[in-house]
Amino acid sequence: MSALQGRTAVVTGASRGIGRAIVRRLAAEGVRMVAVARSRDALEELARELPGTVIPAAADIRDPAAVDGVRDLALDRLGHVDILVNNAGVGHFGLIEELTPEQWDEMFDVNLKGAYLMCRAFVPHMKERRSGHIINIASVAGLVTFPRGAGYCASKWGVIALTETLIQELKPYELKVSAICPGSVQTHFGGTPPRDYSLRPEDVAEMVAVVASQPRGVILNQIVMRPLVPAALQGGQA
C-alpha cells in the first residue's frame, strides 16, 4: 500500500502544467484533494478525469477571502488537510527597465503572497492537529539569479525565505515544510517554448510524491532538480 493512501491535500495552480501533473500523481497514490486554480472549466475537467478524488475550487489565491473559502471547502469536504502544495506561479522575463510594475506585482502576488496566504489559512489547522506537510514549489531561480529574471528570481527567493522561516516556526509542532526547486520544465511558462531536454512536469510531480511519502521522522527540506543537459549543449543556461 502507498504511504500516501488515504491522505488529503490541497494543490494550487492545479489546472495545468506542473500542478495538473501533481494532482494526477497524488491521485495515483490514493490521495483525495482540493485542486485550486482560477479556471473552473479546467478544474472540472480534471475532476471528471479523476472522479471521487479531486474537488475543484476555482479561486484567486491573491485574494485573502478566496483563500479562506478554499480552506473552508477543504475542511468541510476532506475533514482535515495533511498536505498543502503551493505550486501556483507566474513569470515575466525582461530587463529591469522592461518589466512593468503590473508584471512585477503579479509575480509577487501569485508566487509569494499566494503561498503566504495559503500557509496563513492552513497552518492553524495543522498546528492544532500537530500534523501536516507544506510543500512549496520554488525554483532554481530562488537560489541563483540570471539576466532578465530580476522579478521572477526575487519572488522565488522570497518563497525560499518563507519556507526556511516556516521550518523554524513550525518545528515545535512537528510539522514538515519543504521546498522543491526545479530548473527548466517542459511547459510554456513565461511564454517561452520548452527545451527538449528540460524536466517534465511529471518529474516534479514525482518528487512531490517522494517528499510527501517520507516516514514521519524524516524531513526533506530542500530538493534541487536540474535537467541533464546534453553534452553538445552544455555551457548554456539550464
Give the residue numbers annotated as catalytic, written as ranges: 152
| Chain-centre distance for alpha carbon 184 | 15
- Judge whether residue 2 has pLDDT over 80: yes
Instruction: Give pLDDT, residue 216.
Output: 93
Instruction: Give pLDDT, residue 228.
Output: 87
- Judge whether residue 16 has pLDDT over 70: yes
Instruction: Give pLDDT, residue 196.
Output: 79
What is the arithmetic mean of pLDDT over 159-174? 98
For the chain, the domains span 8-228
- Judge whether residue 235 has pLDDT over 70: no
Are 58 and 27 spatial neighbours (Cβ–Cβ below 8 Å)? no
- Judge whether residue 194 has pLDDT over 80: no
Are 22 and 8 spatial neighbours (Cβ–Cβ below 8 Å)? no
CATH number of 8-228: 3.40.50.720
Instruction: Give pLDDT, residue 118.
Output: 98
163 CB-contact burial (10 Å; exposed 0-12 / middle 13-18 / buried 19+): buried
Q: For residue 238, what pLDDT band results from cuts at 50, 70 and 90? A: very low
Instruction: Give pLDDT, residue 236.
Output: 52
Cα angle at 29 between 50 and 31, to 5 degrees? 65
- Sign for the pseudo-dihedral over CA of 97, 145, 87, 193: positive
- Judge whether residue 220 has pLDDT over 80: yes
What is the arithmetic mean of pLDDT over 66-78? 98
Are 44 and 23 spatial neighbours (Cβ–Cβ below 8 Å)? no
How confident is the model over 104-142, as pLDDT tens digits?
999 999 999 999 999 999 999 999 999 999 999 999 999
